[in-house]
Amino acid sequence: MNHPRDQRVLASFALIVTTDTRTEEDDFTGKAAISLLKDNEQKIAKYLLIPNNSEKIRNEVEKILSDKSINVIITSGGTGIGSKDLTVDTLMPLFQKHLPGFGEHFRRLSFEEIGGSAIMSRATGGIIQGKLIFCLPGSINAVTLALSKIIIPNLGHMLWEINRK
């Protein structure tokens, strides 16, 4: 029998890009995430660009949480240490379970690519109302790294664990 960690699943993703400057035309990070998810046979149910505003971030995530068809929420942007980096601070209080290993592993892999500035990332993961949520930095490399090396390869096992009775 195969272990749940090895199973591939089709999941439905919501992608939220927090930005004050990008549009759908020049959101290359969002495009890269969508392309990578589609290449791995995942569904993109929702794609939004919203401003770096705590109330708007929370409102959009709460709308997505009510959509039973979505399994995974990915946010891109707002994970740094700057004054406009609000995503992690806004969403972590909603986490029912925190996945500290995600952020730790992400920063370790990032360190190999970009060096010491990886420590400024507050990338994190958790579970809210039975949905996986990952707050990723806004760079193409960071989103690609997180999706290809951590999230997609472990998606089947994570969703199996969340849904097991």
Full residue range of the structural domain in which residue 39 is found: 7-163
Report the pLDDT averaged over residues 72-98. Answer: 97
Pairing of strands 72-76, 97-98: unpaired
Per residue in 128-151, pLDDT tens?
999 999 999 999 999 999 999 999
φ, ψ at 125 (rounded to 5°)? -140, 160
Here the CATH number for the domain that contains residue 133 is 3.40.980.10
Tell whether 37 is covered by a domain: yes
Tell whether 110 is covered by a domain: yes
Per residue in 92-127, pLDDT tens?
999 999 999 999 999 999 999 999 999 999 999 999
Tell whether 2 is covered by a domain: no
Tell whether 154 is covered by a domain: yes
Tell whether 128 is covered by a domain: yes
Tell whether 1 is covered by a domain: no
Q: What letter represents residue 96's amino acid?
A: Q
Structural domain tally of the chain?
1
pTM (predicted TM-score): 0.95
The pLDDT of residue 5 is 62
Residue 19 gets the label, from left (phi > 0), alpha (psi -120 to 50) or beta, of beta
8 Å CB contact between 91 and 129: no
- Judge whether residue 163 has pLDDT over 90: no
Distance CA 86, CA 64 (A): 18
- Judge whether residue 1 has pLDDT over 80: no
Tell whether 39 is covered by a domain: yes
Rounding to the nearest 10 degrees, give the CA dihedral for residues 116, 100, 18, 76. 70
Tell whether 26 is covered by a domain: yes
Q: Which residues contact 72 (CB under 8 A, 6 or more apart)?
A: 11, 12, 13, 14, 131, 132, 133, 134, 151, 155, 159
Name the token pair of 138.
Answer: 């806004």
Reported as a pLDDT band with limits 50, 70 and 90, residue 4 is low
Q: Is 22 helix (H, G, I), strand (E, B) or coil?
A: coil
